[in-house]
């Protein structure tokens, strides 16, 4: 979003947004949270039921898993920034459609600009696709680092994958151990 001077102003624009149909079903906009100068930023796909009710990202079951993983990587949730590709809940918790992600692109780009993290973690295929600008197979590319402008981008599974597939948790844990090592090296 051009001309946005602060993160608070960007949040206000997102809260008034009607650029895609998702705004019709939202209870609250889930803009993102964390310190505005966080060195690590996590990007998920979109808010779920609990997030829509509370207006906060990753507060449901997947959020509990994410918090555990962040702590296992040697960080606290309060010191990282957490956002999503889309700021309103897709119906039935489905994945955001490309047009919806595009409608919210300026908000996520603005968050990246203002927070200016050193490391960005793409949680799942939707976030990785949006940040890398191409299709991605998380099963083949998780744990890999990519340049993202002046930042490093780590691709991993979405924490919700642990709720549906038992074999995913060890892979996520290994990716977060790598993240912990990277944080110590880079920051």
Instruction: Count structural domains, the chain.
Output: 1
pLDDT at 161: 95
pLDDT at 3: 56
Please check whether residue 136 lies inside any domain of the structure. Answer: yes
Please check whether residue 166 lies inside any domain of the structure. Answer: yes
Q: CA torsion angle for 3, 9, 10, 12 (degrees, to 10)?
A: -130
Q: What is this structure's pTM?
A: 0.96
Please check whether residue 1 lies inside any domain of the structure. Answer: no
Pick from 50, 49, 130: nearest CA to 84: 130
Please check whether residue 154 lies inside any domain of the structure. Answer: yes
Q: Cα(96)–Cα(178) distance, rounded to whole angstroms?
A: 28
pLDDT in tens, 40-91: 999 999 999 999 999 999 999 999 999 999 999 999 999 999 999 999 999 9
pLDDT at 187: 76
| CATH code, 156 | 3.40.470.10
Q: Per-residue confidence at 186, pLDDT binned at 50, 70, 90?
A: confident
Looking at the predicted structure, is the pLDDT value of residue 1 above 60? Answer: no
Please check whether residue 81 lies inside any domain of the structure. Answer: yes
Give me the long-range contacts of 68-71 (CB less than 8 A, separation at least 24). Answer: 69/159, 69/172, 69/173, 69/176, 70/42, 70/176
Looking at the predicted structure, is the pLDDT value of residue 131 above 80? Answer: yes
Please check whether residue 2 lies inside any domain of the structure. Answer: no
- The domain in which residue 139 lies consists of 7-186
pLDDT at 2: 52
Map residue 51 onto helix, strand or coil.
Answer: helix
């Amino acid at each position: 979003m051009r001309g946005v001077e602060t993160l608070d102003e960007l949040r206000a624009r997102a809260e008034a947004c009607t650029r895609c149909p998702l705004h019709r079903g939202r209870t609250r906009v889930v803009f993102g949270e964390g310190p505005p100068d966080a060195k690590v930023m996590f990007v998920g796909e979109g808010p779920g039921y609990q997030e829509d009710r509370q207006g906060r990202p990753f507060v449901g079951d997947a959020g509990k898993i994410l918090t555990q993983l962040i702590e296992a990587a040697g960080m606290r949730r309060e010191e990282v920034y957490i956002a999503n590709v889309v700021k309103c809940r897709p119906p039935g918790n489905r994945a955001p459609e490309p047009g919806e992600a595009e409608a919210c692109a300026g908000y996520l780009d603005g968050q990246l600009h203002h927070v200016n993290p050193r490391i960005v973690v793409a949680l799942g295929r939707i976030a990785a696709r949006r940040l890398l600008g191409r299709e991605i197979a998380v099963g083949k590319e998780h744990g890999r680092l990519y340049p993202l402008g002046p930042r490093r981008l780590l691709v991993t599974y979405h924490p919700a994958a642990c709720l549906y597939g038992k074999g995913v948790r060890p892979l996520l844990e290994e990716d977060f151990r790598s993240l912990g090592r990277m944080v110590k090296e880079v920051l």
